[in-house]
């Protein structure tokens, strides 16, 4: 089994009972899509392994999970995963806005691999939100509002956060093609204010 296959297996176990927010879609589809984007944007095997595991510390066990990742995949993967996490507690996460502000402030110290994985993570999430609001607009009168209500910050806070992520990705010299695609997707969200 390759290291990448082991990362997929590990992430599949860690996220086994999770689904994407507001859906029945298995959560593991997200880290796999992020890893695919990492490869598409020229990432390494190490960065792709970290992409598959990028939410494991934040959502599946905190520092104990980070130790498992470090033991199985090494310091480089563990560092990227840690730098992609806005929370490392095994318990209750702090307030949304405080976590996001601290995460944004941490960008100047992130390694290039963490910047790439973060950009791919946000791109996949933004594409998913945009697809969901487009579908919701076609299917139910209140569907767009229902999609935005899945998120603690709602429409305004979510768009604010994505625009701030774009700003710090640019300052961190993230791949311009990746940032441009994220800007396009986030821009398209404007047409779906509830």
CB 20 within 8 A of CB 27: yes
Q: What CATH number does the domain containing 187 carry?
A: 1.10.3210.10
pLDDT (tens digit, 9 = 90+) per residue, 4-38?
A: 999 999 999 999 988 888 788 999 999 999 999 99
pLDDT (tens digit, 9 = 90+) per residue, 141-177?
A: 788 999 999 999 999 999 999 999 999 999 999 999 9
Q: Is the pLDDT of residue 182 over 90?
A: yes
Average pLDDT score over residue span 46-57:
97
**Which residue spans within the chain are E strands per DSSP?**
none
How many whole angstroms separate alpha carbon 168 and alpha carbon 105? 8
Helix (H) / strand (E) containing 66? helix 62-73
**Is residue 55 classed exposed, middle or buried when 0-12, 13-18 and 19+ CB atoms within 10 A define those classes?**
buried
Q: What is the number of structural domains in the chain?
A: 1
Please, which pLDDT band fits residue 114 given cuts at 50, 70 and 90? very high
The whole domain housing 91 covers 3-192
pTM, two decimal places? 0.94
More confident residue, 192 or 22: 192
pLDDT recorded at residue 24: 87
């Amino acid at each position: 089994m390759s290291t990448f296959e082991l990362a997929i297996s590990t992430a599949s176990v860690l996220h086994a009972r999770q689904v994407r927010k507001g859906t029945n879609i298995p959560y593991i589809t997200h880290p796999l899509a992020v890893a695919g984007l990492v490869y598409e944007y020229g990432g390494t095997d190490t960065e792709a392994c970290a992409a598959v595991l990028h939410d494991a510390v934040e959502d599946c066990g905190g520092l104990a999970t980070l130790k498992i990742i470090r033991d199985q995949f090494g310091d480089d993967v563990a560092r990227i995963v840690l730098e992609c996490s806005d929370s490392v507690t095994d318990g209750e996460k702090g307030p949304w806005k405080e976590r996001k502000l601290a995460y944004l402030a941490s960008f100047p110290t992130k390694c290039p691999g963490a910047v790439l994985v973060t950009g791919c993570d946000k791109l996949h999430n933004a594409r998913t939100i945009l697809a969901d609001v487009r579908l919701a607009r076609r299917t139910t009168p209140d569907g767009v509002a229902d999609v935005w209500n899945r998120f603690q910050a709602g429409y305004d806070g979510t768009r604010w956060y994505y625009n701030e992520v774009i700003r710090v990705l640019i300052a961190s010299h993230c791949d311009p093609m990746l940032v441009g695609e994220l800007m396009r997707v986030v821009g398209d969200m404007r047409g779906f204010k509830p």
